[in-house]
Copies of this chain bind each other. A is one copy, B any other.
Amino acid sequence: MSGSTYGNIFKITTWGESHGKGLGAVIDGCPAGISLTEEDIQLDMDRRKPGSNKYGTKRQEGDKVQIMSGVFQGKTTGTPISLVIFNNDQRSKDYSSISQVYRPGHADYGFETKYGFRDYRGGGRSSGRETAARVAAGAVAKKLLSELGISITAYTISIGNVKAEKYDLSQCSENPLYMPDNDAAQRAAKLLDETIKNQDSSGGIIECKVTGMPVGIGEPVFDKLDSSLAKAVMSIGAVKGIEFGDGFKAAQSSGSYNNDNFYMSEGKIKKHTNHSGGILGGFSDGGDIVFRAAFKPTPSISQPQQTVTNYGEDTEITITGRHDPVIVPRAVVVVEAMTAVTLADLILINMSSKIDGIKKFYIQQ
């Protein structure tokens, strides 16, 4: 149980290291009959792909996804969908400088203590490259959600201390940082230029919005909609916090302000406000789901750092090679992917909640 399987009904299993033969995901429990092509998935792979701008690492990963199983005549068959992405940029490199040294801010020390040794080439399983498999699986989940009218959009709302001041989602695709505010994106770009010059790195915050959710999705105790999303998003490397709706601000608020009042509008239940971020008591409440995830600065920086070896001596390390000065813009699609996978799972789980729905299902059949 190295924890590479996620989900209960819509269940994904990922595998692969940054410097092995490739990476992949197996999706078990995807319903049959959904249209799916490699191009559908490639769209999201390309959004994650590095090298599209100077703030992403220069490594040319390619990231061409192949569907190995589970699709017949352009539709999912209900059986496992195996997705493979071959690694094609494995230049032979000298890792001797880091093979016995624990990089600060990295998983190296924990990894080696846990397993007795580690694949020191590029972070192995703890590399950011691991998220490629998540994005591939997420693209399939999005196809399922789109059949139900649900859509997910994530975007960068801050990089370092530069924050988006407007939320015009149409601008996200107009700047390389996926910010909903082109002006802020320009300021953030300047900050990143400075960061690169300083051989340093920056953190940032991603916000994610989900529209079209049915009401009542999520389970009432441990598998709440928000607790499930929290696990999914916090499992992305570098995420150090998550908040829903008003989040940490709600802790300073009052009930009379924080409660969203319900009202009827054209026969439907609506809310005047959305302090809850679309989730009440662990269930979707009809409002848009809104959450934010905080990413720490990339730990791989070129400055010399003090650290230790795996044989117990103090040492200094200077990390060379290609590294993102900020991971946030590339992580936008990863946040969407983990959100999609989680929602797909909870939506399928919800189908067995009441006997009426079950009877209808089986009588129809």
Contact B349 A1 (CB under 8 A): yes
Q: Contacting chain B: which of A23-31, A164-172, A176-184?
A: A23-31
Chain A, range 160-204, C-beta contacts under 8 Å to B: 160-161, 195, 198, 200-204
- Which residues of B have CB within 8 Å of A200? 254-256
Q: Which residue of B lies closest to A119 (CB)?
A: B72
Contact B251 A214 (CB under 8 A): no
- Which residues of B have CB within 8 Å of A214? 362, 365
Contact A201 B254 (CB under 8 A): yes
- Which residues of B have CB within 8 Å of A125? 77, 79-80, 220-221
Contact B221 A3 (CB under 8 A): yes
Q: Please tell me which one of the listed residues B66, B75, B223, B241 contacts residue A241 in the complex, with CB atoms under 8 A apart.
A: B241
Question: Interface residue count for A (Cβ, 8 Å)?
Answer: 168
Minimum Cβ distance to chain B for residue A95 (Å):
11
- Which residues of B have CB within 8 Å of A295? 250-251
Stoichiometry, as copies per complex, reads 4
Question: How far is A247 from B241 in the complex, measured between Cα atoms in Å?
Answer: 5
Q: Please tell me which one of the listed residues B11, B117, B353 contacts residue A5 in the complex, with CB atoms under 8 A apart.
A: B11
Contact B117 A32 (CB under 8 A): yes
Known contacts A32-B117, A116-B354, A355-B32; A68/B3 CB under 8 A = no
Minimum Cβ distance to chain B for residue A252 (Å):
5
Question: How far is A113 from B353 in the complex, measured between Cα atoms in Å?
Answer: 10
A75, A80, A84, A239: most-surrounded residue (chain B CB, <10 A): A80
- Which residues of B have CB within 8 Å of A253? 202-203, 296-297
A2, A9, A215, A247: most-surrounded residue (chain B CB, <10 A): A2
Contact A245 B240 (CB under 8 A): yes
Chain A, range 301-331, C-beta contacts under 8 Å to B: 301, 303, 305-308, 312-314
Minimum Cβ distance to chain B for residue A269 (Å):
6
Is A17 in contact with chain B by the CB < 8 A criterion?
Answer: yes
Known contacts A14-B80, A307-B261; A4/B221 CB under 8 A = yes
- Please encode chain A, from 237 to 279, with 1 for each CB lying within 8 Å of some chain B CB and 0 for all others: 1011111111110111111111111111001010000001100
- Which residues of B have CB within 8 Å of A284? 110
Q: Considering the complex of A and B, which 3 residue pairs feature the smallest CB-CB distances, nearest first? A: A107-B281, A110-B283, A3-B223
Interchain residue pairs with CB less than 8 A apart (17): A2-B353, A3-B221, A4-B79, A15-B79, A15-B80, A21-B67, A31-B355, A33-B115, A72-B121, A110-B216, A130-B221, A148-B358, A221-B235, A227-B235, A250-B296, A253-B296, A263-B314
